[in-house]
Protein backbone atom coordinates (compact mmCIF):
# COMPACT_ATOMS: atom_id res chain seq x y z
CA UNK A 1 0.00 0.00 0.00
CA UNK A 2 2.93 2.38 0.61
CA UNK A 3 3.94 2.24 -3.07
CA UNK A 4 0.35 2.80 -4.21
CA UNK A 5 -0.13 5.78 -1.89
CA UNK A 6 3.18 7.43 -2.78
CA UNK A 7 2.69 7.03 -6.52
CA UNK A 8 -0.91 8.26 -6.31
CA UNK A 9 0.37 11.43 -4.63
CA UNK A 10 2.99 11.93 -7.35
CA UNK A 11 0.50 11.42 -10.19
CA UNK A 12 -2.11 13.73 -8.67
CA UNK A 13 0.35 16.60 -8.20
CA UNK A 14 1.13 16.59 -11.93
CA UNK A 15 -0.99 18.59 -14.34
CA UNK A 16 -0.41 16.07 -17.16
CA UNK A 17 -1.24 12.36 -17.10
CA UNK A 18 1.34 9.55 -16.90
CA UNK A 19 3.21 7.92 -19.78
CA UNK A 20 4.39 4.30 -19.67
CA UNK A 21 7.89 3.44 -20.95
CA UNK A 22 7.76 -0.30 -21.59
CA UNK A 23 10.67 -2.71 -22.09
CA UNK A 24 11.22 -6.39 -22.81
CA UNK A 25 10.71 -7.46 -19.19
CA UNK A 26 7.06 -6.45 -19.58
CA UNK A 27 6.50 -9.02 -22.34
CA UNK A 28 8.44 -11.67 -20.48
CA UNK A 29 6.22 -11.13 -17.43
CA UNK A 30 2.86 -11.24 -19.20
CA UNK A 31 3.45 -13.20 -22.42
CA UNK A 32 6.25 -15.54 -21.34
CA UNK A 33 8.39 -14.13 -24.16
CA UNK A 34 12.09 -14.96 -24.23
CA UNK A 35 14.74 -12.34 -23.49
CA UNK A 36 16.60 -10.97 -26.52
CA UNK A 37 19.32 -13.63 -26.53
CA UNK A 38 16.70 -16.33 -26.01
CA UNK A 39 14.62 -15.00 -28.91
CA UNK A 40 17.60 -14.98 -31.25
CA UNK A 41 18.57 -18.48 -30.09
CA UNK A 42 15.31 -19.80 -31.57
CA UNK A 43 16.67 -19.00 -35.02
CA UNK A 44 20.07 -20.64 -34.65
CA UNK A 45 19.12 -23.36 -37.12
CA UNK A 46 22.41 -24.39 -38.75
CA UNK A 47 23.99 -26.04 -35.71
CA UNK A 48 25.80 -23.04 -34.25
CA UNK A 49 24.49 -21.97 -30.81
CA UNK A 50 23.91 -18.30 -30.14
CA UNK A 51 26.91 -18.37 -27.82
CA UNK A 52 29.02 -18.86 -30.97
CA UNK A 53 27.67 -15.66 -32.53
CA UNK A 54 28.13 -13.74 -29.26
CA UNK A 55 31.72 -14.92 -28.98
CA UNK A 56 32.37 -13.98 -32.62
CA UNK A 57 31.11 -10.47 -31.92
CA UNK A 58 32.90 -9.99 -28.57
CA UNK A 59 29.64 -10.16 -26.61
CA UNK A 60 27.86 -7.46 -28.65
CA UNK A 61 24.31 -8.79 -29.14
CA UNK A 62 23.35 -6.51 -32.09
CA UNK A 63 26.59 -7.52 -33.86
CA UNK A 64 25.82 -11.16 -33.09
CA UNK A 65 22.32 -10.68 -34.55
CA UNK A 66 23.89 -9.41 -37.78
CA UNK A 67 26.09 -12.53 -38.06
CA UNK A 68 23.15 -14.79 -37.28
CA UNK A 69 21.00 -13.03 -39.89
CA UNK A 70 23.53 -13.83 -42.61
CA UNK A 71 23.61 -17.55 -41.76
CA UNK A 72 19.83 -17.67 -41.35
CA UNK A 73 19.32 -16.01 -44.73
CA UNK A 74 21.23 -18.81 -46.51
CA UNK A 75 19.23 -21.45 -44.62
CA UNK A 76 15.81 -19.80 -45.07
CA UNK A 77 15.87 -19.91 -48.87
CA UNK A 78 15.98 -23.73 -48.99
CA UNK A 79 14.57 -24.99 -45.66
CA UNK A 80 11.27 -26.91 -46.12
CA UNK A 81 9.83 -25.57 -42.84
CA UNK A 82 9.93 -22.04 -44.30
CA UNK A 83 8.43 -22.93 -47.70
CA UNK A 84 5.05 -21.38 -46.85
CA UNK A 85 6.69 -18.21 -45.54
CA UNK A 86 8.87 -17.94 -48.68
CA UNK A 87 5.79 -18.15 -50.89
CA UNK A 88 4.32 -15.13 -49.09
CA UNK A 89 7.43 -13.11 -48.23
CA UNK A 90 10.10 -13.77 -50.89
CA UNK A 91 9.27 -10.47 -52.59
CA UNK A 92 9.92 -8.60 -49.33
CA UNK A 93 13.56 -9.68 -49.04
CA UNK A 94 15.78 -6.65 -49.54
CA UNK A 95 19.03 -7.71 -47.82
CA UNK A 96 20.69 -10.50 -45.83
CA UNK A 97 18.81 -9.55 -42.64
CA UNK A 98 15.27 -9.57 -44.10
CA UNK A 99 14.55 -13.27 -43.62
CA UNK A 100 15.40 -13.15 -39.92
CA UNK A 101 13.30 -10.01 -39.44
CA UNK A 102 10.34 -11.67 -41.14
CA UNK A 103 10.50 -14.86 -39.06
CA UNK A 104 11.01 -12.99 -35.77
CA UNK A 105 7.95 -10.90 -36.66
CA UNK A 106 5.88 -13.99 -37.51
CA UNK A 107 6.84 -15.55 -34.17
CA UNK A 108 5.94 -12.41 -32.18
CA UNK A 109 2.69 -11.82 -34.05
CA UNK A 110 1.35 -15.12 -32.73
CA UNK A 111 1.63 -13.80 -29.18
CA UNK A 112 -1.08 -11.70 -27.64
CA UNK A 113 -4.27 -11.69 -25.63
CA UNK A 114 -4.57 -15.48 -25.33
CA UNK A 115 -1.07 -15.69 -23.86
CA UNK A 116 -1.79 -12.77 -21.53
CA UNK A 117 -4.98 -14.44 -20.23
CA UNK A 118 -2.87 -17.48 -19.32
CA UNK A 119 -0.38 -15.22 -17.50
CA UNK A 120 0.36 -15.95 -13.83
CA UNK A 121 -0.59 -12.28 -13.21
CA UNK A 122 -4.26 -12.09 -14.33
CA UNK A 123 -5.14 -9.26 -11.92
CA UNK A 124 -2.30 -7.11 -13.26
CA UNK A 125 -3.34 -7.74 -16.87
CA UNK A 126 -6.96 -6.86 -16.05
CA UNK A 127 -5.85 -3.58 -14.43
CA UNK A 128 -3.52 -2.73 -17.32
CA UNK A 129 -6.33 -2.85 -19.85
CA UNK A 130 -8.34 -0.25 -17.89
CA UNK A 131 -5.62 2.38 -17.46
CA UNK A 132 -6.27 5.71 -19.14
CA UNK A 133 -2.60 6.74 -19.44
CA UNK A 134 -1.71 9.61 -21.76
CA UNK A 135 0.60 7.46 -23.88
CA UNK A 136 3.17 4.68 -24.14
CA UNK A 137 6.77 4.59 -25.35
CA UNK A 138 8.24 1.14 -25.95
CA UNK A 139 11.22 -0.67 -27.42
CA UNK A 140 9.16 -3.90 -27.69
CA UNK A 141 8.29 -5.41 -31.07
CA UNK A 142 5.34 -7.62 -30.05
CA UNK A 143 1.66 -6.54 -30.45
CA UNK A 144 0.58 -6.83 -26.79
CA UNK A 145 0.37 -3.10 -26.06
CA UNK A 146 -1.80 -2.42 -29.11
CA UNK A 147 -4.11 -5.20 -27.96
CA UNK A 148 -4.36 -3.65 -24.50
CA UNK A 149 -5.01 -0.17 -25.93
CA UNK A 150 -6.71 -0.64 -29.32
CA UNK A 151 -7.90 3.00 -29.48
CA UNK A 152 -4.38 4.42 -29.24
CA UNK A 153 -2.66 5.62 -32.40
CA UNK A 154 0.60 3.78 -33.15
CA UNK A 155 3.84 5.28 -34.49
CA UNK A 156 6.40 2.73 -35.70
CA UNK A 157 10.14 3.47 -35.59
CA UNK A 158 12.09 6.67 -35.11
CA UNK A 159 11.44 7.96 -38.62
CA UNK A 160 7.66 7.79 -38.38
CA UNK A 161 7.75 9.59 -35.04
CA UNK A 162 10.28 12.21 -36.11
CA UNK A 163 8.44 13.17 -39.29
CA UNK A 164 4.90 13.17 -37.87
CA UNK A 165 3.01 15.42 -35.50
CA UNK A 166 2.18 13.28 -32.46
CA UNK A 167 -0.26 14.84 -30.01
CA UNK A 168 1.30 13.25 -26.89
CA UNK A 169 -1.98 11.69 -25.80
CA UNK A 170 -3.66 8.40 -26.70
CA UNK A 171 -0.59 7.24 -28.63
CA UNK A 172 1.95 4.40 -28.66
CA UNK A 173 5.51 5.11 -29.83
CA UNK A 174 7.27 1.88 -30.89
CA UNK A 175 10.69 3.44 -31.22
CA UNK A 176 12.52 0.16 -32.02
CA UNK A 177 9.99 -0.93 -34.63
CA UNK A 178 7.07 -3.35 -34.68
CA UNK A 179 6.44 -6.96 -35.73
CA UNK A 180 3.72 -5.72 -38.08
CA UNK A 181 6.49 -4.12 -40.17
CA UNK A 182 9.56 -6.45 -40.16
CA UNK A 183 11.85 -3.97 -41.92
CA UNK A 184 11.35 -1.52 -39.03
CA UNK A 185 12.97 -3.73 -36.35
CA UNK A 186 16.04 -2.30 -34.62
CA UNK A 187 17.87 -5.62 -34.69
CA UNK A 188 21.47 -5.51 -35.88
CA UNK A 189 24.52 -3.40 -35.09
CA UNK A 190 23.82 -1.38 -38.24
CA UNK A 191 20.30 -0.64 -37.03
CA UNK A 192 21.59 0.48 -33.64
CA UNK A 193 24.18 2.74 -35.26
CA UNK A 194 21.39 4.45 -37.21
CA UNK A 195 19.19 4.62 -34.11
CA UNK A 196 21.95 6.17 -32.00
CA UNK A 197 22.73 8.73 -34.70
CA UNK A 198 19.10 9.90 -34.56
CA UNK A 199 18.74 9.59 -30.79
CA UNK A 200 19.34 13.32 -30.09
CA UNK A 201 16.49 14.17 -32.50
CA UNK A 202 14.23 11.60 -30.84
CA UNK A 203 15.10 13.02 -27.43
CA UNK A 204 14.23 16.53 -28.66
CA UNK A 205 10.89 15.19 -29.92
CA UNK A 206 10.15 13.55 -26.55
CA UNK A 207 11.54 16.27 -24.27
CA UNK A 208 8.13 17.84 -23.57
CA UNK A 209 6.79 14.46 -22.48
CA UNK A 210 9.67 13.90 -20.05
CA UNK A 211 9.40 17.38 -18.56
CA UNK A 212 5.60 17.59 -18.25
CA UNK A 213 4.50 14.00 -17.65
CA UNK A 214 5.41 11.39 -15.03
CA UNK A 215 7.13 8.53 -16.90
CA UNK A 216 6.68 5.04 -15.46
CA UNK A 217 9.37 2.61 -16.64
CA UNK A 218 8.20 -1.01 -16.75
CA UNK A 219 10.27 -4.02 -17.82
CA UNK A 220 13.67 -2.30 -17.80
CA UNK A 221 16.77 -2.62 -15.72
CA UNK A 222 17.76 0.70 -14.21
CA UNK A 223 21.10 0.29 -16.01
CA UNK A 224 19.59 -0.62 -19.41
CA UNK A 225 21.70 0.93 -22.17
CA UNK A 226 18.65 1.87 -24.25
CA UNK A 227 17.29 3.93 -21.36
CA UNK A 228 20.69 5.33 -20.42
CA UNK A 229 21.23 6.50 -24.00
CA UNK A 230 17.87 8.27 -24.17
CA UNK A 231 18.25 9.85 -20.71
CA UNK A 232 21.74 10.98 -21.71
CA UNK A 233 20.29 12.77 -24.75
CA UNK A 234 17.44 14.27 -22.73
CA UNK A 235 19.83 15.52 -20.05
CA UNK A 236 21.81 17.26 -22.80
CA UNK A 237 18.58 18.87 -24.06
CA UNK A 238 17.48 20.22 -20.68
CA UNK A 239 21.00 21.03 -19.45
CA UNK A 240 22.63 19.97 -16.19
CA UNK A 241 21.30 23.09 -14.45
CA UNK A 242 17.68 22.02 -15.18
CA UNK A 243 18.03 18.31 -14.51
CA UNK A 244 16.32 18.61 -11.12
CA UNK A 245 13.12 19.52 -12.97
CA UNK A 246 12.86 15.82 -13.82
CA UNK A 247 12.60 14.93 -10.11
CA UNK A 248 9.54 12.76 -9.45
CA UNK A 249 8.93 12.57 -13.22
CA UNK A 250 11.03 9.44 -13.77
CA UNK A 251 9.63 6.40 -11.96
CA UNK A 252 11.34 3.01 -12.32
CA UNK A 253 9.43 -0.10 -11.30
CA UNK A 254 11.78 -2.99 -10.53
CA UNK A 255 11.19 -6.55 -9.40
CA UNK A 256 12.70 -7.55 -6.10
CA UNK A 257 15.92 -9.51 -6.04
CA UNK A 258 16.66 -12.18 -3.47
CA UNK A 259 16.64 -10.76 0.08
CA UNK A 260 15.19 -7.36 -0.91
CA UNK A 261 12.05 -5.84 0.57
CA UNK A 262 9.25 -3.99 -1.19
CA UNK A 263 9.50 -0.20 -1.00
CA UNK A 264 9.79 3.13 -2.79
CA UNK A 265 12.54 5.74 -2.53
CA UNK A 266 14.17 8.73 -4.22
CA UNK A 267 17.49 7.96 -5.84
CA UNK A 268 19.79 8.98 -8.72
CA UNK A 269 21.29 7.37 -11.80
CA UNK A 270 24.69 8.66 -12.94
CA UNK A 271 25.07 9.10 -16.71
CA UNK A 272 28.24 10.72 -18.05
CA UNK A 273 28.82 12.42 -14.73
CA UNK A 274 25.29 13.86 -14.52
CA UNK A 275 23.15 12.75 -11.57
CA UNK A 276 19.61 12.23 -12.90
CA UNK A 277 16.95 12.06 -10.15
CA UNK A 278 14.34 9.32 -10.20
CA UNK A 279 11.87 7.45 -8.01
CA UNK A 280 12.58 3.73 -7.58
CA UNK A 281 9.66 1.41 -6.73
CA UNK A 282 10.75 -2.13 -5.88
CA UNK A 283 8.01 -4.77 -5.73
CA UNK A 284 6.89 -8.13 -7.06
CA UNK A 285 3.25 -7.01 -6.96
CA UNK A 286 2.70 -4.53 -9.78
CA UNK A 287 -0.98 -4.08 -8.89
CA UNK A 288 0.15 -1.37 -6.48
CA UNK A 289 1.59 0.60 -9.39
CA UNK A 290 -1.41 0.01 -11.66
CA UNK A 291 -3.92 0.98 -8.97
CA UNK A 292 -2.06 4.26 -8.49
CA UNK A 293 -2.20 4.86 -12.24
CA UNK A 294 -5.90 3.96 -12.28
CA UNK A 295 -6.58 6.50 -9.50
CA UNK A 296 -5.58 9.27 -11.93
CA UNK A 297 -8.72 9.41 -14.04
CA UNK A 298 -9.76 11.71 -16.86
CA UNK A 299 -13.33 12.78 -17.49
CA UNK A 300 -12.66 12.58 -21.23
CA UNK A 301 -11.07 9.42 -22.74
CA UNK A 302 -7.52 9.78 -24.08
CA UNK A 303 -8.56 8.95 -27.64
CA UNK A 304 -11.11 11.79 -27.67
CA UNK A 305 -8.54 14.25 -26.32
CA UNK A 306 -6.15 13.15 -29.07
CA UNK A 307 -8.82 13.80 -31.72
CA UNK A 308 -9.36 17.28 -30.27
CA UNK A 309 -5.64 18.08 -30.31
CA UNK A 310 -5.32 16.79 -33.88
CA UNK A 311 -8.26 18.94 -34.97
CA UNK A 312 -6.77 22.01 -33.25
CA UNK A 313 -3.39 21.39 -34.92
CA UNK A 314 -5.08 21.09 -38.32
CA UNK A 315 -7.13 24.21 -37.60
CA UNK A 316 -4.13 26.46 -36.91
CA UNK A 317 -2.01 25.05 -39.77
CA UNK A 318 -4.71 24.97 -42.45
CA UNK A 319 -5.36 27.92 -44.76
CA UNK A 320 -9.01 26.88 -45.12
CA UNK A 321 -10.27 25.31 -41.88
CA UNK A 322 -13.62 23.56 -42.03
CA UNK A 323 -16.62 25.33 -40.52
CA UNK A 324 -18.94 22.59 -39.32
CA UNK A 325 -20.25 21.89 -35.84
CA UNK A 326 -22.35 19.02 -34.53
CA UNK A 327 -23.34 17.96 -31.05
CA UNK A 328 -23.13 14.15 -30.67
CA UNK A 329 -22.66 11.56 -27.98
CA UNK A 330 -18.94 11.45 -27.08
CA UNK A 331 -18.97 7.66 -26.71
CA UNK A 332 -20.11 7.28 -30.31
CA UNK A 333 -16.94 8.89 -31.69
CA UNK A 334 -14.76 6.17 -33.18
CA UNK A 335 -12.68 8.09 -35.70
CA UNK A 336 -11.14 11.55 -35.75
CA UNK A 337 -12.90 12.27 -39.07
CA UNK A 338 -16.18 12.16 -37.15
CA UNK A 339 -15.03 15.00 -34.92
CA UNK A 340 -15.10 18.72 -35.67
CA UNK A 341 -13.36 20.99 -33.18
CA UNK A 342 -14.54 24.52 -32.36
CA UNK A 343 -12.26 27.08 -30.69
CA UNK A 344 -13.32 30.35 -29.09
CA UNK A 345 -10.75 33.12 -28.84
CA UNK A 346 -11.00 36.22 -26.66
CA UNK A 347 -14.09 35.25 -24.68
CA UNK A 348 -14.42 37.69 -21.76
CA UNK A 349 -15.86 37.02 -18.33
CA UNK A 350 -19.60 36.97 -18.85
CA UNK A 351 -22.52 38.30 -16.85
CA UNK A 352 -25.93 36.75 -16.48
CA UNK A 353 -27.81 36.99 -19.75
CA UNK A 354 -24.70 37.05 -21.98
CA UNK A 355 -24.56 34.42 -24.66
CA UNK A 356 -21.42 32.94 -23.06
CA UNK A 357 -23.44 32.08 -19.97
CA UNK A 358 -25.80 30.00 -22.07
CA UNK A 359 -23.51 28.13 -24.45
CA UNK A 360 -25.25 25.78 -26.83
CA UNK A 361 -28.72 24.51 -25.96
CA UNK A 362 -31.72 22.92 -27.61
CA UNK A 363 -34.42 25.04 -29.24
CA UNK A 364 -37.82 24.45 -27.78
CA UNK A 365 -40.71 24.10 -30.16
CA UNK A 366 -43.69 26.15 -29.04
CA UNK A 367 -47.17 25.14 -30.03
CA UNK A 368 -50.02 27.62 -30.35
CA UNK A 369 -53.65 26.99 -29.66
CA UNK A 370 -55.97 27.51 -32.63
CA UNK A 371 -57.88 30.75 -32.49
Q: What are the start-end ranges of the H helices in the chain?
A: 2-12, 24-31, 36-41, 50-56, 61-76, 83-89, 98-109, 113-117, 122-128, 144-148, 157-162, 189-212, 225-238, 287-294, 302-317, 355-358
Over range 7-14, report the average pLDDT.
Answer: 91
Strands (E) across 242-341 are located at: 250-254, 263-271, 274-282
Tell me, yes or no, whether 159 and 273 share the same domain.
yes
**For residue 93, is it within any domain?**
yes
| pLDDT, average across residues 194-221 | 90
Pairing relation of β-strands 153-156 and 135-138? Answer: unpaired
In a domain, 86, yes or no: yes
- Is residue 12 domain-resident? yes
CA separation, residue 111 to residues 16, 34, 141, 271, 371 (Å): 32, 12, 11, 35, 74
Report whether pLDDT(279) > 70.
yes
Report helix angle 98-109 to 61-76, nearest 10. Answer: 100
CB 77 within 8 A of CB 203: no
Please state the rounded mean pLDDT for residues 159-167: 84
265 and 124 part of one domain: yes
Same domain, 46 and 125: no
User: What's residue 233's pLDDT?
Assistant: 84
Task: Provide the percentage of residues in the chain whose pLDDT is more than 70.
Answer: 79
Q: What is the C-alpha separation between 281 and 291, in angstroms, rounded?
A: 14
Inter-residue contact 268 to 276 (CB < 8 Å) = yes
What integer is the mean pLDDT of 143-164? 91
Q: Which of 61, 77, 109 is the last residue of a domain?
A: 109
pTM of this structure? 0.81
Domain boundary among 239, 261, 294: 294
* Residue 186 is assigned to a structural domain of this protein: yes
pLDDT of 117 higher than 80: no
Residue range(s) defining the domain that contains residue 229: 2-33+112-294
147 and 254 together in one domain: yes
Q: pLDDT (tens digit, 9 = 90+) per residue, 56-89?
A: 999 999 999 999 999 999 999 999 999 999 999 9
Same domain, 17 and 129: yes
Question: Is residue 364 assigned to a domain?
Answer: no
Count of the separate structural domains present in the chain: 3
| Within-domain flag for 266 | yes
In a domain, 366, yes or no: no
Amino acid sequence: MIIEQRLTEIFKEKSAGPFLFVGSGFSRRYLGLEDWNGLLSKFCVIGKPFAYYLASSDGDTPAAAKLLAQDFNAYWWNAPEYAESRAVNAGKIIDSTSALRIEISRHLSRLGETDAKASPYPEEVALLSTLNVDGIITTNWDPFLEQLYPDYKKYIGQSELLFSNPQEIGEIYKIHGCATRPASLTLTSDDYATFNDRNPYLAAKLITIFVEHPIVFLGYSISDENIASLLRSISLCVGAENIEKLRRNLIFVRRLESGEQSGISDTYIAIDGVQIPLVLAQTNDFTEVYKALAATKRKIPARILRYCKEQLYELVTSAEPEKKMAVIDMDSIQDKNELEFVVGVGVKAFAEGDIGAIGYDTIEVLTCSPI
